[in-house]
Structure 1
Amino acid sequence: MAIAIDRELAGDINNPSFDVINYCIEEHEKEIPRLQMLFDYYEGNPHKINEEPKDLPHDRDEVFVNNAKYVTDMMVGFTVGAPISYTAANDKDISPVLEALDTMRIKKHDKELEKGLSAMGVGYELHYLAIKPGTTNETIPKIAWIDPRGMILVVDDTVEKNKLFAIRPLEKEDLKRTKFWEVTIFTSKWQITYFSKNKKLDKSTMLKEPKVREHFYQDVPVTEFRNNEEKQGDYEQQLSQIDKYNLLQTDRIKDKENFIKAIMILYGFTLPDEADKSVDGNVVLEAPSKDLGANAEYVTNTFQESEVQTLADSLLGDFHKTTYVPNLNDEQFAGNISGEAMKYKLFGLLLILSIKIGYLEDGIIERLRLLQNILTVKGHNIDVEGTTIKFKPNLPIDRSNIIQQIRDSQEFIPLLISLGWLDDIDDPKSVLEMLEEQKEKNLTMQAKALGIQSDDSHSDLDEPPEEDDDDQSNI
């Protein structure tokens, strides 16, 4: 989590003191239990803050329907299921940036990033240089998603929240199974790594001299991504609903088990006095006459299943309503409806996606700037300012309807604009150029089929016949 401190109190931000580092680590530790709880819900190990999960999910007596994972996986698919596209501003070339993103498999990275954002509300990217495969000294830019439980970004306390430095404490173990801490500080110029016995740094706990090297990114190479303004996960406000729904389902199962184990009560029966009235070790009771009021019944305490199902449906409905994630198992959700009607059913989801995408875009702009910095150092002339970042929510659409709209709008909307309505077209300009080439090729082929000579062709039939010199002399 980002820790805001006064710029003057931070001291030398290119070489933060142990006091400043330890203060930031202490503040970050206060957030770790909450982040741990949220991610444990995603993994199927629900528990409250500062509590340890009881045991593995399949060992528990409780029923756990993992609605937290359902929300996160759906949000990841909706938000970045379709790749993010980047379009350079006019007269600018960002192809080295796009090549770098493709090399680092940014599509997979974005899905990992969104999963962390959806579950815990915040996530971090670490930019670094790695040795290019097949070479010994050539480096390429890389990006890694860092769990917010293991990264601390320190910013100033102004409205701009300018980055000061970042801290990554990492517990490690040597070959003798002795644990130690590797605490790495990322400043705008240096990467400083301390090796300590404890997470909090002190001169007496240092195991060896710190390792210092320049990273060349010209800024703190860590980017913070937020899920929303409050940095909350997509199901964080619904934890009580998840718990109650699971409690209700657990009680339903236990009710069925108790029904099987129900106690039988006998009225008017007596135990035999003689041992010979047992068969195969079981006591045989003789039922008295009905006149004595003999009867037998089970002691049960069962739910009214219809009422329980109504309650379960209500809890589940409120859960989907407040998370904005549709219930795809609802029989009334899909059906035979048009694409326009589907948009209204997904209207709440589209609204929440617009918020998520806005905060994602802030982080991606910072991503592009860091890539620009490192690629400029490597000799490329790049300017990412003005780059258009386009998100395409991965939602069901009626493509045939959109194509018809493109046809109908050609008289008053440029084709370059209307082609962008299609979700699988990232660069309408290049598609328009392909269409022009295809039209020219079709015209050429049509001309050949009709026997029309093209302007650049050549044939002997176009020239007058040559006169024989001998014939001319005889005239």
Structure 2
Amino acid sequence: MATDVLIKENKLLKQRFPDEANKHYTYPSIDKLLDNLNHLADMIENHKSVQRPRLRTLENYYKGNNETILEGQRRKEEHQADNRATHNFAKYVSQFIQGYMVGIPLKTSYDDKNVEEMLRDMNRINDADEHNSELILDQSIFGRAYELLYRSKADENRFTTVDVMNTFVIYDDTVERTPIAGVRYFYNDYTKEESVYLYTDTYRIIYKIDEDGKLTEDDAEPHVFGGVPIIEYENNRFRQGDFEDVLTLIDLYDGAQSDIANYSQDLNDAILAIFGRFDLDGYGDKDPLEIMKMMKDANLFHFEPPVDGEGREGRADAKYLYKQYDVQGSEAYKTRLANDIHLFTATPNMNDERFSANQSGEAMKYKLFLLEQKRAAKERRFKKSLRDRYRLINNVMKMASEGEFDVSKLTITFTENLPKNIAQEMEWFNAAGGRLSQKTMIDQLRFVENADEELERIEEEEKRKPINKNLYDFPGDKIEEVTADGE
């Protein structure tokens, strides 16, 4: 620890963000925290001053407001061009990963149809597909995402995303790292009041923050989730965003592209160097600068060659003075930077001619091998938090006598969003003599959410179809009635 401090004091370790900007908040227990509200106030202040700047920087890069290229002075001479070109690699990385993971919505299934139907209805009420997609995006940008569970006025179990800029979770200091509280704080521009919402496993407590940073309880309300209703979704072990470790490479690319733009613009204002002397005959007493401007406007310069001391004439010439630009070297440098950004974020470079759109899904997987490894790790962490969501909802359902289910039996399925040649696969399967059930074939359709529901709809439609009695009559046949006497 002393070595780390020494390195930082000597400024040998040049990190963009300090380690404290992404640390977890821990405390022995919720009871001790409630007895020491000044420690909670310190955590909030630390989050504002140390953690939020990192989150704000990552948000700026995602929005294309790349801070390094947009801040400070880049050109020493005021008359030179000062273009600031930003390149939104950050949005490309996060949106690609978001689409790859949940472009096809994840599915939650259960072996009991009644429970599965209940979960499906709840997910529809909460628009779970969009909600999960937003969580994945926040994870990718900030390295973390937060979800708040609550019971609506209509007695519905609801969940929503909350802003990472003013939300954090406090864990106990055991090896299990169990959440003991969730915190949301915000400032109201109209009332000029700052409030803190503290969620424990049994209560939601509201505090007001005075000018001295002291917390005063304003309201308290119990809940029956049986756990902290703010759930944290971590992107990875270090809570690092998907483009966070290539911010310096993005800065270098911005700088290189901006320098090229400045070069092109400065070339228009290059200095004209004349080797010789102007022929001023016929211009009278006009100022030489005015004569030069007249010639420039006419795109013609007329000047005499210089004469040395022995009367010999030199060569007359005129040319612009400007910094020479190595086109090939500069383009190779930018290409290398772009390739490194894609390599270290495990995202494909769509400008790569070898990344053809005509390849099959299996061939694409080999090109996305690194992203597949990242996806697997992200999915495991996402499923863990997702099960926490349904575990807390199950607790509420039991208390409200709305039924219950075993969260361990819940199946969560991610499907990578890749182009697939289903027709080719089906052709090969049929040629091999294979057969598929209707449910399996319907499952391959992306616009069908649930195959079982679709089969039930088909069955209901078949039952409602009118029976055509004429199908059972044969032309020329005459149906005769047989009496009791056999006549």
TM-score (norm 1): 0.80
Q: Distance in 1 between matches of 2:390 and 2:241?
A: 25
For residues 8-407 of structure 1, what are the structure 2 equivalents within 5 Å? 10-12=30-32, 15=34, 17-29=36-48, 30-47=50-67, 61-90=83-112, 93-131=115-153, 138-175=154-191, 179-198=192-211, 200-202=213-215, 206=216, 210-270=218-278, 272=280, 276-278=284-286, 282-284=290-292, 286-289=302-305, 291-385=313-407, 386-404=409-427, 407=430
Q: Distance in 2 between matches of 1:304 and 1:395?
A: 40
For residue 382 of structure 1, give the secondary structure of its aligned residue in structure 2: coil
For residue 125 of structure 1, give the secondary structure of its aligned residue in structure 2: strand
> Letter of the aligned partner of 1:36 in structure 2?
R
For residue 241 of structure 1, give the secondary structure of its aligned residue in structure 2: helix
Quick one: structure 1 residues 426 and 406, their matched pair in 2 at CA, closer, same or farther if it must change by over 3 Å? farther
For residue 188 of structure 1, give the secondary structure of its aligned residue in structure 2: coil
CA apart distance, 1:383: 0.5
Return 340-349 or 193-202, whichever deviates more.
Answer: 193-202
Q: Distance in 2 between matches of 1:344 and 1:373?
A: 43
Q: Distance in 2 between matches of 1:108 and 1:89?
A: 25
Over aligned residues, Cα RMSD in angstroms? 3.8
> Letter of the aligned partner of 1:185 in structure 2?
L
> Letter of the aligned partner of 2:250 in structure 1?
I
Q: Distance in 2 between matches of 1:40 and 1:402?
A: 44
Q: Distance in 2 between matches of 1:186 and 1:324?
A: 37
Unaligned runs of 5+ in 2: 1-21, 74-80, 293-300, 307-312
Sequence identity percentage = 24
Contact in 1 for aligned 2:148/2:231 (Cα 8 Å): yes
> Letter of the aligned partner of 2:65 in structure 1?
N
Q: Which residue of 2 aligns with 1:134?
A: none
Q: Distance in 2 between matches of 1:437 and 1:167?
A: 49
CA apart distance, 1:172: 1.3
> Letter of the aligned partner of 2:339 in structure 1?
G
Quick one: structure 1 residues 281 and 232, their matched pair in 2 at CA, closer, same or farther if it must change by over 3 Å? closer
Q: Deviations over 1:207-247 (max 9, x none)?
A: xx511111222211110001111111010011111000111
Asked if 1:465 is matched to 2:487, the reply is no
Q: Deviations over 1:394-441 (max 9, x none)?
A: 221112134346546886998877876666665555667788999999
Count of matched residue positions in the alignment of Structure 1 and Structure 2: 440
Runs of 4+ in 1 over 6 A off after TM superposition: 412-419, 431-442
Return 179-188 or 369-378, whichever deviates more.
Answer: 369-378
CA apart distance, 1:259: 1.3
Q: Distance in 1 between matches of 2:145 and 2:252?
A: 29
Q: Which residue of 2 aligns with 1:456?
A: none
Quick one: structure 1 residues 190 and 325, their matched pair in 2 at CA, closer, same or farther if it must change by over 3 Å? same
Q: Deviations over 1:3-25 (max 9, x none)?
A: 343425x5346x45313312432
Quick one: structure 1 residues 222 and 341, their matched pair in 2 at CA, closer, same or farther if it must change by over 3 Å? same
